[in-house]
């Protein structure tokens, strides 16, 4: 089986003047990502488009980019599917070479944790784009800020229907403080 082609940018192509790389992430690109990481909790609603600018800086590569598109999520409160725009800009300085191997244990500072390395002769743009998309995702996707979620007792979607539980509000089987009230 032939391995799908990735966006690998040869380092010799990146000059001091810089190079602009147009980005269009299609459903096929997301399908490859989903094969690599089956636990993704979002899908592509519309293709993600943007641009990445790469330029050399004293043995390093300055990467600047922007992405925009639309992703589909499942609401973390009511479990309804919804779409949300994605718009992100990013900038990073990548060091050419392998990350140094430390023989002794050292405490890393914030600057050390931000260093990223390009170990080969090409920059794997796929990995950078995946990371930036993940960083732009909401921690708890909500279909809207006022989402009422699901009833703990009967499971009704409170955005669309009234609860069919017989217990007064806050005293159903799912109420966390009901035993204390007794």
Q: How far is CA 86 from CA 61, 67, 132, 136, 142, in A?
A: 25, 7, 11, 7, 14
The owner of tokens 């094969």 is: 35
Q: Is the pLDDT of residue 168 over 90?
A: no
pTM recorded for the entire structure: 0.77
> Quick one: residue 179, left, alpha or beta (phi over 0 = left, psi -120 to 50 = alpha)?
alpha
Cα separation of the two ends of the chain: 64
Q: What is the mean pLDDT of the chain?
A: 84
DSSP 131-163: HHHHHHS-SS--SSTT---B-TTT--BTTTS--
Parallel/antiparallel/unpaired status of strands 8-10 and 19-25: unpaired
The whole-number pLDDT of residue 57 equals: 86
The tens digit of pLDDT for each residue in 129-167 reads 999 999 999 999 999 999 999 998 888 999 999 887 765
Residue 102 CA to residue 104 CA, distance in Å, equals 6
Confidence of residue 1 (pLDDT cuts 50, 70, 90): very low
The tens digit of pLDDT for each residue in 32-45 reads 999 988 888 999 99
């Amino acid at each position: 089986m032939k391995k799908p082609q990735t966006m690998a940018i040869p380092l010799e192509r990146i000059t001091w003047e810089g190079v602009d790389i147009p980005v269009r992430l299609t459903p096929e690109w997301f399908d490859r990502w989903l094969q690599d990481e089956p636990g993704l909790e979002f899908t592509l609603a519309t293709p993600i488009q943007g641009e990445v600018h790469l330029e050399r800086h004293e043995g390093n590569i300055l990467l600047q980019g922007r992405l925009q598109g639309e992703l589909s999520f499942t609401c973390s409160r009511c479990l309804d599917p919804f779409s949300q725009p994605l718009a992100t800009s990013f900038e990073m300085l990548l060091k050419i070479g392998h990350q140094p191997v430390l023989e002794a244990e050292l405490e890393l500072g914030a600057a050390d944790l931000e260093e990223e390395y390009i170990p080969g002769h090409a920059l794997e743009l796929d990995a950078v784009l995946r990371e930036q998309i993940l960083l732009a995702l909401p921690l708890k996707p909500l279909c809207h800020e006022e989402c009422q979620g699901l009833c703990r007792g009967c499971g009704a979607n409170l955005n669309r229907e009234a609860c069919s539980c017989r217990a007064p509000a806050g005293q159903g089987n799912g109420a966390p403080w009901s035993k204390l009230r007794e």
